[in-house]
Amino acid sequence: MFMLNKLFQKIQIDIKSSKNIECLETLRIKYLGKKGIIANYMQKLQLLSLHDKKKNSIIINEIKKKIIIEIEKKNIFLKEKLLQERIKNEKIDISLPGRRMHNGSLHPITHTINDIKNFFYELGFKIKHGPEIEDEYHNFDALNIDKNHPTRDSQDTFWFDSNRLLRTQTSSMQIRIMKKDKLPIRLLVPGKVYRNDCDATHTPMFHQVEGLIVDKNISFSNLKWIIYNFLYSFFSTSVSIRFRPSYFPFTVLSAEVDIINKKGQALEILGCGIVHPKVLKNVNIDTNIYSACAFGIGIERIAMLRYGILDIRSFFENDLRFLMQFKNI
């Protein structure tokens, strides 16, 4: 009995001196494990008489329960201590100023396209997109572009093979839409186009917006009204506009539209005209009943005028100093 009480006192001291949960677990195995000291005492009971065996087994079990209770108390204490240390180490000072993330913004070309789409959407135009890889029929043949036209030359156009190419204009979507949509049609097609050209006012890839109206009694007056109102809306001011007679294989009458700056200099921004009857016949539209007008706007050109940009290549150089100027537009 005396030896067991002395052992319990030693165990209490060991438990109190445990500095972490790992040390406490080592003590538990040492005293309460299958091969521990308490289990060893229980095995020695076999050597005692029945009376002493019963008496000492009760004492050993009581001490075992007390050890379990002491270990559990110490375990709770150590876990709470560990939690408090973790809270202290991971504490956040909420009085510190926050770390701000620098949000991105839309590219000026995207802003420009969105403004154009919003204007024509209010006039009842449907916004559609077409494939950037086109076939010769939709990009040239159906648009009345002659087999010997220079735009078909490999020096001007990116060809994959004898039939497939990167589209040179969004006008190819005119054919696709007129073949399958019901009349009348009001269509706007924004997208990338590709031509083998590069200087301060040209890039091999640039953006166009193609507009098309097919209805009864469409005239050049309808076309001029739309273009004037669009340009006045887009530039939010009265601008000097000039229509020049021009030639496109897929329109007749045809015109190019220039913006005249304060110095009297002209910059071409779009081509337009009355859709050629051959183009309408190619998609089985009766030219005795319907007529059509179309226009193609160079997105980069009007963005350069709008924001005072001198070199078209600035749009595609990914210079953050340039792009950050348009963050709040």
Residue 100 lies in a domain: no
Is pLDDT of 1 > 70? no
What local confidence, expressed as pLDDT, does residue 200 receive?
62
Q: How many CB atoms lie within 10 A of CB 107?
A: 15
Of residues 235 and 52, more confidence is placed in 235
The pLDDT of residue 301: 87
pLDDT score for 261: 75
Does the residue 97 lie in any domain? no
Domain match, 121 and 162 both: yes
Q: How confident is the model at residue 218 (pLDDT cuts 50, 70, 90)?
A: very high
Peptide bond just before 187 cis, omega within 30 deg: no
Domain hosting residue 317, numbered range: 108-326
Reported pTM: 0.65
Mean pLDDT check: name the lowest of 21-25, 52-56, 173-177. 52-56
Residues 204 and 264 in one domain: yes
Structure confidence at residue 207 (pLDDT):
92
Alpha helices by DSSP H, the chain: 2-16, 21-32, 37-44, 50-89, 108-122, 136-139, 172-180, 220-235, 277-282, 299-307, 320-323
Query: What's the mean pLDDT in 115-137?
Result: 92
Provide the 10 A C-beta neighbour count for residue 309. 16
| pLDDT of residue 146 exceeding 70 | yes
Single-letter amino acid, residue 53:
K
Q: Is residue 102 part of a domain?
A: no
In a domain, 59, yes or no: yes
Phi, then psi, of 216 in degrees rounded to 5:
-80, 140
Q: Is residue 95 part of a domain?
A: no
Q: How far is CA 167 from CA 132, 142, 177, 196, in A?
A: 6, 14, 16, 11
Looking at the structure, do residues 148 and 49 belong to the same domain, yes or no? no
What's the Cα-to-Cα distance from 266 to each of 52, 83, 88, 201, 256, rounded to whole Å? 118, 74, 70, 13, 11
Chain CA centroid to CA 249, Å: 38
Among 232, 235, 236, which Cα is nearest to 224's?
Answer: 232
101 in a structural domain: no
Q: Are residues 72 and 28 in the same domain?
A: yes
Answer yes or no: is pLDDT of 280 > 60.
yes
294, part of any domain: yes
Q: Give me the chain's average pLDDT, please.
A: 85
Looking at residue 201, its pLDDT comes to 64
SS3 category, 172: helix
The share of the chain scoring above pLDDT 90, in percent, equals 32
What is the average per-residue pLDDT within 129-153?
A: 86
- The 10 Å CB-count burial string (b at 16+, else e) for 263-287 is eeeeeebbbbbbbbeebbebbebee
**Is the CB of residue 246 less than 8 Å from the CB of residue 271?**
yes
Residue appearing with tokens 């939690």: 83
Q: Is residue 154 domain-shared with residue 293, that is, in the same domain?
A: yes
Q: Are residues 120 and 253 in the same domain?
A: yes
Residues 297/120, Cβ–Cβ less than 8 Å: no
| Average pLDDT score over residue span 115-136 | 93
Does 23 share its domain with 166?
no
Give the total number of structural domains in the chain.
Answer: 2
Region 258-284: what's the mean pLDDT?
A: 87
Task: Give pLDDT, residue 14.
Answer: 82
| Same domain (yes/no): 133, 282 | yes
146 shares a domain with 68? no
In this structure, the number of other CB atoms found within 10 A of the CB of residue 78 comes to 17
Q: Which of the pair, 152 or 18, is modelled with greater confidence?
A: 18
Amino acid sitting at position 31: Y
The type of residue at 98 is G
Pick the range with the lowest mean pLDDT from 59-63, 163-167, 256-260.
Answer: 59-63
Same structural domain for residues 153 and 242? yes
Is 148 in the same domain as 281? yes
Are the beta carbons of 254 and 271 closer than 8 angstroms?
A: yes
CATH code of 291's domain? 3.30.930.10
* Tokens, residue 246: 């021009």
Q: Which residue has the higher pLDDT, 46 or 179?
A: 179
In this structure, is residue 200 part of a structural domain? yes
Q: What is the mean pLDDT of residues 228-257?
A: 88
Does position 2 have pLDDT exceeding 60, yes or no? no
Read off the pLDDT band of 164 (50, 70, 90).
very high
Please check whether residues 38 and 169 belong to one and the same domain.
no
Going by C-alpha positions, the residue among 196, 151, 199, 191 that lies closest to residue 171 is 191
Does pLDDT of 152 surpass 80?
no
Residue 112: HSE in the Cβ half-sphere, 13 Å Cα cutoff = 24
Average pLDDT over residues 290-306: 91
| Cβ–Cβ under 8 Å, residues 160 and 136 | no
Average pLDDT over residues 22-34: 82
Q: Which residues contact 201 (CB under 8 A, 6 or more apart)?
A: 301, 312
